[in-house]
């Protein structure tokens, strides 16, 4: 894992030379800046004294620090600043003055209370792109409400469609609302920065809502409702309106997802399960006909899969060129040769020598791939380096690096 250049800006990666300042905690803003760091941007993460990003203490800990932190903060530099003090705000302003992108996920108005809002930062850096991630967006009647990924999933329509019919709506299993907001944030940031770099205009605000980021991925849910009045309901492992496409049990207690939802694939699937008669039935040649008999088709497929172990099911479907996969756990993923061949299982070493596997970099660029330059830093690890880069003298640095008290603003 290579390091950055002399002045802290990476000399490697397609985003080398892009400076990013992060005022973020937990998932949405930090995941967005992690993606930028993976491709060479210099990311400076501002953390509060004493506690830092709460993600440092989330989920499974190793020697007091979250294993997730090593991934979420990889390639970033950590500076400790008390943003409730004038000196801390002064340093933050200096950092913003030389940044290309600021990413934050305060509640709307939070940075303004600290004197670090859009008007203040764009006033000293007109080319700045400010990415603002919040629950409901920077405008609208709900803008001031607190919002987390789970709330975005609920209001954006995802939770309503997730789970078994007639059962309590289910969580996807990860904080997908936050991560979807992160992806939209990266897209918006790069669009806005490209506009500046191409001389087409000045910086601007990229307003990302958790709710809207989820809602944006809800396919044809709204058009269908607006025209037909139909609600897309929970359907378990099935894909409503498309047949056959569902989750099926195998003889060894596993589950396989099979997508036989095109005419040619359907015919191959039916031949593979010994039901060529269904594959050759003219009434099942098109999706509408298969949807009308979906229960019959699912029952036929279930009878076949439930009589065979997973490995045999997958082998026979692969021979028939039918899209299928076992539902993978973490254990399945780390053993899978495809993940290994695609560099999606990076082997790293924590500071104490503990070996760890972390996710690789997505997407894959053929000529300028991303890289993990270092793992999540210690709290304030780069404070001195960053202050020196900003031109602070030793006496000023000593004062700024004194133990500070304070907690992040809402």
Reply yes or no: is the peptide bond before residue 60 cis, omega within 30 of 0: no
Supply the pTM of this predicted model: 0.91
CATH classification number, 245-249+255-326, choose in 3.40.50.1000, 3.30.1540.10, 3.40.190.10, 3.40.630.30 = 3.30.1540.10
- Give the pLDDT confidence of 300-322 residue by residue, as tens digits: 999 999 999 999 999 999 999 99
Catalytic residue, from 38, 53, 82, 178: name it.
178
The two counts, helices (H) then strands (E), for the chain are 18, 13
Is 178 catalytic? The answer is yes
Q: At a CB cut-off of 8 Å and minimum separation 6, what does 24 contact?
A: 30, 32, 33, 45, 53, 103, 104, 105, 133
Low-confidence stretches of the chain (pLDDT < 70) are 1-11, 403-410
Q: What is the pLDDT of residue 401?
A: 87
The string of pLDDT tens digits covering residues 169-201 is 999 999 999 999 999 999 999 999 999 999 999
Same topology between domain 19-217+343-400 and domain 245-249+255-326 = no
Superfamily of the domain at 19-217+343-400:
Crotonobetainyl-coa:carnitine coa-transferase; domain 1 (3.40.50.10540)
- Domain positions in the chain: 19-217+343-400, 245-249+255-326
Instruction: Match 């400010």 to its residue by tokens.
Output: 130
Distance CA 393, CA 385 (A): 11
- pLDDT score of 381: 95
């Amino acid at each position: 894992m290579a390091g950055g250049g002399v002045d802290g800006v990476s000399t490697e990666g397609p985003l080398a030379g892009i400076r990013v300042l992060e005022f973020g905690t937990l998932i949405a803003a930090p995941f967005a800046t992690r993606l930028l760091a993976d491709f060479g941007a210099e990311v400076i993460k501002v953390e509060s004294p004493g506690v830092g990003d709460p993600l440092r203490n989330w989920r499974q800990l190793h020697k007091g620090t979250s294993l997730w932190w090593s991934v979420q903060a990889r390639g970033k530099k950590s500076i400790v600043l008390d943003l409730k003090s004038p000196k801390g705000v002064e340093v933050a302003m200096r950092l913003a003055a030389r940044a290309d992108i600021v990413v934050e996920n305060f509640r709307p108005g939070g940075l303004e209370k600290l004197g670090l809002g859009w008007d203040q930062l764009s006033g000293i850096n007109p080319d700045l792109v400010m990415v603002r991630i919040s629950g409901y967006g920077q405008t609208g009647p709900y803008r001031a409400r607190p919002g987390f990924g789970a709330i975005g999933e609920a209001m954006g329509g995802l939770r309503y469609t997730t789970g078994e019919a007639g059962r309590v709506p289910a969580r996807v299993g990860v904080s997908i609302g936050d991560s979807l907001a992160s992806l939209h944030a990266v897209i918006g940031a790069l669009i806005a920065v490209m506009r500046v770099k191409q001389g087409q205009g000045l910086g601007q605000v990229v307003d990302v809502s958790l709710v809207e980021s989820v809602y944006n991925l809800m396919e044809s849910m709204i058009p269908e409702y607006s025209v037909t009045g139909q609600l897309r309901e929970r359907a378990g492992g099935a894909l409503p309106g498309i047949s056959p496409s569902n989750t099926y049990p195998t003889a060894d207690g596993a589950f396989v997802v099979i997508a036989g939802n095109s005419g040619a694939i359907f015919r191959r699937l039916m031949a593979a399960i010994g039901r060529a008669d269904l594959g050759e039935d003219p009434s099942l040649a098109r999706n509408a006909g298969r949807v009308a008999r979906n229960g019959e088709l699912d029952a036929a497929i279930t009878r076949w899969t439930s009589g065979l172990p997973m490995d045999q099911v997958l082998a026979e479907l692969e021979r028939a060129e039918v899209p299928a996969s076992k539902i993978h756990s973490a254990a399945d993923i780390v053993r899978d040769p495809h993940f290994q061949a695609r560099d999606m299982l990076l082997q790293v070493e924590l500071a104490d020598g503990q070996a760890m596997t972390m996710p690789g970099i997505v997407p894959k660029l053929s000529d300028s791939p991303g890289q993990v330059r270092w793992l999540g830093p210690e709290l304030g690890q780069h404070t001195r380096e960053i202050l020196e880069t900003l031109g602070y003298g030793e006496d000023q640095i000593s004062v700024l690096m004194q133990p500070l008290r304070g907690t992040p603003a809402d």
